[in-house]
């Protein structure tokens, strides 16, 4: 079985995830942008049971970012790495940038494209889903 590995910037927080992944997507929602200090975040989703997180001591910090969601980061270097939500039960989303090397899929879409920052131009051919798209309906309450 193919396994993907990754780590935070300082190496105190690491993970391994077993293929296949569930999706790979660019998220433009304001929560991801604020949490990461970036124009958008690329996520790779995995079944929660296929992700093994290894932390030196107390390196893993979970922040309850909403009533429905939490975000995992390294308490030492601050690298944001994980996202879990009741909107996607049984899944762990891992930042693509923290995965070392290739994964089993390329980005497939842009989510919450209607929340995109105006200072970035996106010229790819990927589907661009608005927050009201039916595919994103389970995340509707989170964005309020």
pLDDT in tens, 74-117: 999 999 999 999 999 999 999 999 999 999 999 999 999 999 99
CB 102 within 8 A of CB 18: no
Q: By the 8 A CB rule, do 47 and 35 touch?
A: no
- Interval 17-25 mean pLDDT: 98
Whether the pLDDT of residue 51 is over 80: the answer is: yes
Q: Is the pLDDT of residue 144 over 50?
A: no
Q: Long-range CB contacts (< 8 A, 24+ apart) of 33-40?
A: 33/115, 33/117, 35/65, 35/71, 35/80, 36/80, 36/95, 39/116, 39/117, 39/119, 39/120, 40/110, 40/116, 40/117, 40/120
Kindly list the distances between the CA atom of residue 39 and the CA atoms of 36, 113, 114, 133, in Å, as whole numbers in the listed order. 9, 11, 13, 21
* Domains of the chain with CATH codes: 3-139 (2.170.150.70)
Q: How many CA atoms lie within 13 A of 81 on its CB side?
A: 33
């Amino acid at each position: 079985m193919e396994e993907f590995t990754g780590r935070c910037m300082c190496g105190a927080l690491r993970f391994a995830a077993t293929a296949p992944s569930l999706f790979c997507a660019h998220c433009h929602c304001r929560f991801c942008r604020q949490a990461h200090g970036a124009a958008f975040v690329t996520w790779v989703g995995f079944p929660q049971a296929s992700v093994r997180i290894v932390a030196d001591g107390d390196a893993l910090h979970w922040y309850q970012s909403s009533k429905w969601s939490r975000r995992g980061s390294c308490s030492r270097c601050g690298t944001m790495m994980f996202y879990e939500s009741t909107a996607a039960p049984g899944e762990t989303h891992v930042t693509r940038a923290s995965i070392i090397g290739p994964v089993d899929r390329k980005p497939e879409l842009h989510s919450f494209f209607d929340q995109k920052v105006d200072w970035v131009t996106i010229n790819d051919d990927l589907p661009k889903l608005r927050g009201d798209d039916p595919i994103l309906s389970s995340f509707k309450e989170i964005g309020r």
